[in-house]
């Protein structure tokens, strides 16, 4: 079909108008990817509360050459030197405290000694054991007196949120008037508990133990 110049111009104008209308429609229908809209969509999504994620900032690392005179291992670890010291002290004092008790002592006194050192979850388990009628009756019947001490042996594992220490607990035991000494090595996990470091779990070292709590 042959078109006159006027008809061709009218057809071109019509096509331009149609394409412009399609463009406007697609713009209105497409999702808004502006920062404000993206933020609103993100905040509308269900949030997942994460567990402990380690230190507030990553270890600073070491950029220069390493030599025995300037090597600072704490720059590579998720715990500062102060945190390491606190964790080790907590683990050692915990083993000594949980190994110390008397047959004529109120269990609440025993529990008060370990309370500052253990997480709430572990403390519940300890309290159930310390107040068990069978345990209390046996201690009274044999007039058991135990005094515990502990030595730090080594670090077994380090994770972002926890450190496992191997600790040997020693116990001076008096039972039915007879004295003896016992010794047991424990794997003690000290973990971040809010702003504190507390014992999260412990068990005989030869039983093995999971490390990270996060």
Structure token digits, residue 55? 């230190």
pLDDT value at residue 54: 55
Q: Which domain holds residue 147?
A: 75-206
Please give the Cα distance from 67 to 40 (Å, whole number): 51
**Helix or strand (DSSP H, E) at 21:** helix 5-29
pLDDT of residue 33: 41
Helix, strand, coil abundance in the chain, percent, nearest 5: 45, 25, 30
103 domain-assigned: yes
Q: Return per-residue pLDDT of the chain as tens, 214 residues.
A: 544 555 454 444 454 444 444 444 444 444 444 333 233 333 333 333 333 445 656 677 877 788 888 888 888 899 999 999 999 999 999 999 999 999 999 999 999 999 999 999 999 999 999 999 999 999 999 999 999 999 999 999 999 999 999 999 999 999 999 999 999 999 999 999 988 999 999 999 998 544 445 4
Number of compact structural domains in the chain: 1
Tokens representing 35 are 């920062």
Residues 6 or more apart in contact with residue 154 via CB below 8 angstroms: 165, 166
- To which H or E segment does residue 164 belong? strand 162-175
Q: Examine residue 139 and state whether it is found in any structural domain, yes or no.
A: yes
Domain assignment of residue 100, yes or no:
yes
Structure tokens at 175: 């039972």
The predicted structure's pLDDT at residue 147: 96
- Which CATH number is 96's domain given? 3.10.450.540
Angle at 141 between CA 138 and CA 143, to 5 degrees: 100
Residue 64's pLDDT is what? 78
Q: State the pLDDT at residue 142.
A: 95
Is residue 56 in some structural domain?
no
pLDDT for residue 38: 32
């Amino acid at each position: 079909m042959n078109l006159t110049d006027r008809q061709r111009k009218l057809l071109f104008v019509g096509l331009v108008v149609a394409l412009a209308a399609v463009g406007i429609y697609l713009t209105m229908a497409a999702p808004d990817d502006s920062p404000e809209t993206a933020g609103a969509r993100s905040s509308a999504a269900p949030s997942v509360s994460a567990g402990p994620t380690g230190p507030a900032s990553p270890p600073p690392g070491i950029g220069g050459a390493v030599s025995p005179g300037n090597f600072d291992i704490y720059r590579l670890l998720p715990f500062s030197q102060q945190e390491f010291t606190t964790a080790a002290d907590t683990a050692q004092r915990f083993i000594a405290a949980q190994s110390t008790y008397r047959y004529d002592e109120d269990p609440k006194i025993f529990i008060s000694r370990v309370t500052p050192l253990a997480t709430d979850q572990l403390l519940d388990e300890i309290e159930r054991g310390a107040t068990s009628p069978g345990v209390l009756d046996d201690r009274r019947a044999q007039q058991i007196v135990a005094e515990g001490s502990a030595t730090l042996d080594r670090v077994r594992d380090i994770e972002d949120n926890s450190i496992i220490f191997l600790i040997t607990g020693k116990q001076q035991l008096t039972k039915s008037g007879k004295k003896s000494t016992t010794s047991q090595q424990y794997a003690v996990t000290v973990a971040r508990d809010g702003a504190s470091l507390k014992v999260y779990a412990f068990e005989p070292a030869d039983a093995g133990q999971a490390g990270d709590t996060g």
